[in-house]
């Protein structure tokens, strides 16, 4: 039987922070908590942007695809954060955790990155932490290098290994699907809660009452009573079943009107004037599709005005369904300072809704006409794709050509001393090959038999001795010659025999030696945050 959430949520700035970098959303089918980071400038921007970009998922009907959809949308939110940083470098380094639940029929999809947490309280499983903290200390614990009780006092306990932001184009998400029992409860929270309230106390509060509002208020108040050194955000949901034939979901137990901390002044709730530039600029940005306004999937709505601000579109979208939005995301929607990229995300979704009419259009002429009105004529699209393919092939060929030329230029400046038919010889290039292609050629052969050298010198020559220039290679040969000992030699100097002439071998040697790594040399070492 299909399920849905009853929910409650609350966010508080805490006792020590000057602004709230947390954001959260709770609805009938979706719950999200995000904990932003990046200091004074970008933490609230990151969490608000990520949460706002996910709110449109709060609907039913995923038909088994919720896990893929949720993961893809979180990756899109990550790309939006990167674009925000590109447009405003002052936001560089900002990021956010995301922990989310999305209902798909009778199962719950969990997607997570960072150190916010999801807990589950069920009759069968008891109270358990469902997500894993993506932190440095958790990695040490997983590897057996740190005991769990030592984690809270570790100097790097807040260092994140995975996070959304501008540091990773495709961050690794933790995604799983759980089949819940009706009546079980889930808790999503930022680390401001579990930093000062232990798991046993959290479980006791979760079991204490059927009033979800009382649960979230108790958890936040416990955090505040214990100092609340960080922002604290809590979302509690309870799984309810939806009776067959009923599209509505009971409102009982849903918190109404949970908003950012009202104890602070309005000036404190809003960002400073210096931060306004990080948010939505012109408030008359057009909605894609000539006035088509995004609402719940399957219910496109055409507005009477051709343009709307991203904030008003978002508020209208959220007004279509019961929900709670708290923290920085709530401030953003109330003040109209929506992250710029979220505006483009709303436009993208509006376009998707507008083009969804193609699913019920069977006449090919109508399809072509509709696409042409939207500026996407199939014939022109095919030509554009063919042109793009040709350009791509040309660019790839040029890249390979330039890469080959650069590699050839570099290898021709390298030398090493090795063995040629039992004698010490000088080679130009590096002692490697790419399949059948050798990356070196014989430059000169000496009259020094390799067997006449000490065992140590023989081993060095046969392993090849790298040189930064022709002069350096000849000096290595001279050193090998002098190390042979007092036995008679044909001459008092090194005799070099030049092989059969070829243009590349007779080229003048390069100038100064340059540091590099040669296959014959000893190895050199190779080359997430709050």
Mean pLDDT of 69-80: 94
Confirm whether 417 is domain-assigned: yes
441 in the same domain as 294: no
The pLDDT of residue 383 is: 59
Residue 525, CA distances (Å) to 319, 381, 518, 522 in order = 57, 49, 13, 10
233 or 40, which is more confident? 233
The pLDDT of residue 509 is: 37
Q: Please provide the DSSP assignment of 434-457 as one string.
A: ETTEEEEEEEEEEEEEGGGS-HHH
The pLDDT of residue 395 is: 78
Burial label, 363 (beta-carbon count in 10 A; 0-12, 13-18, 19+): exposed
Phi and psi angles of residue 278, each rounded to the nearest 5 degrees, phi first: -80, -5
The pLDDT of residue 347 is: 56
320 in the same domain as 442: no
pLDDT digits (tens, 9 = 90+) for 469-483: 888 889 999 888 887
Q: Check if the beta carbon of residue 232 is closer than 8 Å to that of residue 192.
A: yes
Mean pLDDT of 169-175: 89
Whether the pLDDT of residue 194 is over 60: the answer is yes
Whether the pLDDT of residue 515 is over 90: the answer is no
The pLDDT of residue 88 is: 85
Assign residue 179 the CATH number of its domain.
Answer: 3.60.40.10
Up-side HSE of residue 230: CA atoms within 13 Å toward CB? Answer: 22
362 or 175, which is more confident? 175
Confirm whether 382 is domain-assigned: no
Whether the pLDDT of residue 436 is over 80: the answer is no
The pLDDT of residue 50 is: 94
Number of domains in the chain: 2
Distance CA 260, CA 270 (A): 11
- The model's confidence at residue 354, banded by pLDDT at 50, 70 and 90, is very low
Q: How far is CA 515 from the centre of its chain?
A: 35
3-state helix, strand, coil in the chain (%, to 5): 40, 25, 40
70 in the same domain as 154: yes
Q: Whole domain around residue 71: which residue ranges?
A: 3-244+285-329+341-359
Q: What six digits make up the tokens of 402?
A: 């330039």
Whether the pLDDT of residue 378 is over 70: the answer is no
107 in the same domain as 178: yes
Distance CA 330, CA 58 (A): 16
469 in the same domain as 355: no
175 or 18, which is more confident? 175
Q: What six digits make up the tokens of 315?
A: 């508020």
Mean pLDDT of 283-300: 27
The pLDDT of residue 502 is: 45
- Average the pLDDT over each of 22-36, 134-148, 298-312, 328-342 and give the range with the smallest value: 298-312
Mean pLDDT computed over every residue of the chain: 74
Q: What six digits make up the tokens of 174?
A: 């933790």
- The model's confidence at residue 66, banded by pLDDT at 50, 70 and 90, is very high
151 or 109, which is more confident? 109
Confirm whether 390 is domain-assigned: no
142 in the same domain as 54: yes
The pLDDT of residue 503 is: 43
Q: Give the residue among 202, 231, 228 at the shortest CA–CA distance from 215.
A: 202
Whether the pLDDT of residue 452 is over 60: the answer is yes
The pLDDT of residue 12 is: 97
The pLDDT of residue 486 is: 54
The pLDDT of residue 306 is: 32
The pLDDT of residue 156 is: 79
Most confident of 17-21, 250-254, 330-334, 359-363: 17-21
The pLDDT of residue 257 is: 34
pLDDT digits (tens, 9 = 90+) for 129-144: 999 999 998 889 888 8
Mean pLDDT of 295-323: 55
- The model's confidence at residue 33, banded by pLDDT at 50, 70 and 90, is very high
Confirm whether 24 is domain-assigned: yes
300 in the same domain as 215: yes
Mean pLDDT of 155-181: 87
Most confident of 221-235, 325-339, 382-396, 497-511: 221-235
Confirm whether 420 is domain-assigned: yes
pLDDT digits (tens, 9 = 90+) for 150-164: 877 787 777 888 999
- The model's confidence at residue 36, banded by pLDDT at 50, 70 and 90, is very high
Whether the pLDDT of residue 523 is over 50: the answer is no
417 in the same domain as 355: no
Residue percentage of the chain with pLDDT more than 90: 39
How much is the CA Rg of the chain, to the nearest whole Å? 33
Confirm whether 253 is domain-assigned: no
Distance CA 394, CA 379 (A): 23
173 in the same domain as 296: yes
| Residue 14 Rama label (left phi>0; alpha psi -120 to 50; beta) | left
pLDDT digits (tens, 9 = 90+) for 197-251: 999 999 999 999 999 999 999 999 999 999 999 999 999 999 999 876 555 444 4
Q: Check if the beta carbon of residue 259 is closer than 8 Å to that of residue 12.
A: no
473 in the same domain as 350: no
429 in the same domain as 298: no
Confirm whether 252 is domain-assigned: no
19 in the same domain as 112: yes
Q: Check if the beta carbon of residue 228 is closer than 8 Å to that of residue 15.
A: yes
The pLDDT of residue 430 is: 80
Whether the pLDDT of residue 45 is over 60: the answer is yes
Confirm whether 271 is domain-assigned: no
């Amino acid at each position: 039987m299909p399920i849905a959430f009853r929910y409650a949520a609350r966010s508080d700035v805490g006792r020590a922070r000057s602004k709230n970098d947390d954001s959260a959303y709770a609805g009938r089918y979706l719950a999200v908590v995000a904990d932003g980071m990046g200091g004074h400038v970008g933490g609230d921007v990151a969490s608000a942007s990520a949460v706002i970009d996910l709110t449109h998922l709060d609907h039913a009907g995923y038909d088994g695809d919720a896990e893929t959809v949720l993961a893809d949308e979180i990756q899109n939110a990550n790309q939006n954060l990167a674009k925000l940083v590109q447009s405003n470098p002052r936001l560089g380094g900002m990021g956010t955790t995301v922990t989310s639940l999305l209902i798909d029929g009778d199962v719950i999809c969990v997607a997570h990155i960072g150190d916010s947490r999801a807990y589950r309280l069920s009759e069968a499983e008891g109270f358990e932490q469902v997500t894993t903290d993506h932190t440095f200390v958790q990695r040490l614990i997983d590897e057996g290098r740190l005991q769990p009780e030592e984690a809270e006092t570790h100097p790097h306990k807040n260092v994140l290994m995975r996070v959304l932001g501008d540091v990773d184009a495709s961050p690794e998400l933790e995604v799983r699907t759980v089949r819940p029992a009706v009546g079980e409860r889930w808790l999503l929270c930022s680390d401001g809660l579990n930093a000062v309230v232990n798991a046993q106390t959290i479980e006791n509060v979760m079991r204490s009452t059927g009033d979800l509002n009382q649960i979230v208020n108790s958890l936040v108040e416990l955090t505040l009573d214990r100092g609340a050194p960080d922002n604290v955000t809590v979302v509690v949901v309870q799984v309810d079943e939806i009776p067959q034939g009923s599209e509505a979901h009971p409102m009982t137990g849903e918190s109404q009107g949970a908003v950012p901390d009202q104890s602070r002044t309005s000036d404190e709730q809003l960002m400073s004037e210096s931060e306004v530039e990080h948010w939505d600029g012109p408030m008359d940005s057009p909605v894609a599709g000539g006035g088509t306004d995004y609402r719940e999937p399957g219910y496109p709505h055409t507005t009477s005005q051709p343009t709307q601000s991203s904030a008003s579109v978002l508020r209208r979208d959220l007004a279509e369904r019961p929900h709670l939005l708290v923290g920085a995301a709530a401030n953003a929607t109330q003040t109209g300072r929506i992250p710029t990229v979220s505006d483009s995300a709303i436009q993208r979704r509006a376009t998707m809704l507008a083009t969804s009419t193609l699913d019920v259009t069977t006449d090919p002429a109508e399809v072509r006409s509709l696409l042409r009105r939207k500026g996407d004529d199939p014939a022109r699209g095919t030509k554009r794709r063919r042109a793009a393919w040709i350009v791509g092939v040309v660019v790839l060929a040029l890249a390979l050509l330039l890469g080959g030329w650069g590699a050839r230029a570099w290898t021709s400046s390298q030398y090493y001393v090795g063995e040629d038919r039992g004698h010490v010889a000088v080679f130009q290039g590096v002692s490697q090959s790419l399949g059948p292609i050798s990356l070196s050629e014989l430059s000169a052969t000496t009259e020094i038999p390799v067997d006449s050298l000490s065992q140590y010198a023989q081993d060095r020559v046969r392993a090849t001795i790298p040189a930064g220039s022709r002069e350096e290679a000849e000096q290595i040969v001279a050193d090998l010659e002098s190390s042979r000992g007092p036995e008679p030699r044909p001459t008092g100097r090194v005799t070099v025999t030049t092989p059969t002439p070829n243009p590349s071998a007779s080229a003048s040697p390069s100038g100064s030696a340059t540091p590099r790594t040669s296959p014959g040399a000893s190895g050199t070492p190779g080359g997430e945050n709050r």
